Amino acid sequence: MRAYGDTTVLVGKAAFTVSGGSVFRLVYTEVYVRRDSHRMASVAIISAYTLPGENVMPEGIAYSSDHGFYAGSSTDGTIFRGCLDDELAQVWQPPGKDARTCVLGLAVHRDQWLVACGGQTGHLFVYNMAEAALLARRTVPATSTLLNDVWTVGEAAFVTDSARPVLWRLPLGATPQDIGEPQIFADLSGAGAGAFLNGITATADGTALLVAAQGTGTLWRVETASGAVEQVRLPEGYRFGADGLLLLDDHLLAGVVNQTRRDTLVFSLAVVALDAAARTAVPAGTWDDSRFDTPTTITLAQQRLLVVNSQLTRAEPAAPFHVISMDLPPVPSSPSL
C-alpha cells in the first residue's frame, strides 16, 4: 500500500497461464482509493506496451486523463494510442495522413487536443482526441528546422527547435478557429553552438518554461509572459543534456540523459531539484532501468512512469518497439540549494 496525498494505493499482482499454451504473464493492479470520498477505480498495470510496426522508432509521448497515452513514430508519422490496461497500442492516426510523415514531441492541451511536432517537415498538428480529427496543421516560417518537443501552457503550445536555437509559440485558444500561426517566441542562442534544444516542460504555476539544450548540457528558463531567457544555474561541471523532461512536483525535474561509460553509451533518468523560482538546480538522484533502449521521452500516468524506447542508437533497430512502464521510484530528498 502506498499513499499519495489524499489517495491510498493498494498494489497487488496476479499470475496466470494463457489457455492452450505456456505463456506466463504478471499483471500488476493498483487500486486508487480517495480517502475523502471512498471512491475506487482500478487500472491494470502492464510493464511494457507494444507499438505495432516494423520500423516505428518512436520518440514522443503524452498522457491524457482518459487513461490513454499517445506516442508517435519518427520514421513515418504514425500516431499510436494506448490504454493502460492493454499491452498492445493501436494506430490512432495512420502514417502519411494530413502530410504527417514524422512525429516527434507530443503534448495534450486541456485534455481535449493533442499537439504533435513534425520534426524537419516544420509542421505542427492539432487533433481533437475525442473524435481523432485534425483541427489544424500549421507550418513554421523557416526553411531549416527540426521541431522536436512541445509543451502547452494556458492557450498556447511552445515548441523547441533542434536545428536553430529558438522557441516557437503556437496560439491555441479554446476553439479550432482560435488556432493561430506559429511565431518565434524566444531566442536561446545563448545556449551556444550545437545547443540542440530538446526537452521542454513548465513550472508548476506555468509562469516559466524549462528547456534543455541537449548538445551543451545546459538548462534554460523562459518566462511564458515575456519570453525573457536566462540560464538555470547548475553545479560547475554538471551536464543536464536532457531529451524528454518531466516535472514530478513543484521542484523535482526528471530528464532522459545519456553519458559514455567505458566507451558505452548509457541512458538514465537524471533528477535535479529546483529552487522555488526555478533559477537554480542541483543533482538529486539518478534512476536506471535495465530495459532502457535509447529512451527519449517520459510522462507520468497513474503514478507510473511511461518511457519511450526509441532504439534510435541501434545499428539495426528491430520490432517490437515498446513504451515501458516503471514504478515511480522513491522521490529523492531535496538537497540544499
How confident is the model over 60-85, as pLDDT tens digits?
999 998 769 999 999 999 999 999 99
Long-range contacts from 267-272, C-beta under 8 angstroms, 24+ separation: 267/292, 267/294, 267/295, 268/292, 269/295, 269/298, 269/305, 269/307, 270/240, 270/242, 271/332, 272/219, 272/234, 272/240
How confident is the model over 113-156, as pLDDT tens digits?
999 999 999 999 999 999 999 999 999 999 899 999 999 999 99
Give the pairing type, strands 48-51 and 58-64.
Answer: unpaired
Specify the amino acid at residue 94: P
How confident is the model over 260-291, as pLDDT tens digits?
666 678 899 999 999 999 999 999 999 999 99
How confident is the model over 305-332, as pLDDT tens digits?
999 999 999 999 999 999 999 998 876 6
Using only C-alpha atoms, what is the Rg of the chain? Answer: 20
C-alpha grid cell for residue 217? 548540457
Say whether 101 sits in a helix, a strand or coil: coil
C-alpha grid cell for residue 56? 516505428
- Global pTM reads 0.86
Sheet with 24-34, side-by-side order of all strands = 2-4, 7-17, 24-34, 40-45
Is 218 in contact with 196 (CB distance < 8 Å)? no
Strands, DSSP E only, in 162-287? 166-171, 183-187, 197-202, 208-213, 218-223, 229-231, 245-247, 252-261, 264-274, 281-287
d(CA 323, CA 286): 20
Cβ count within 10 A of residue 57: 20
CA distances from 293 to 52, 62, 171, 288 (A): 17, 19, 35, 11
Domain architecture of the chain: domains with CATH: 57-77+94-293 (2.130.10.10)
Average pLDDT rounded to a whole number, residues 182-209: 97
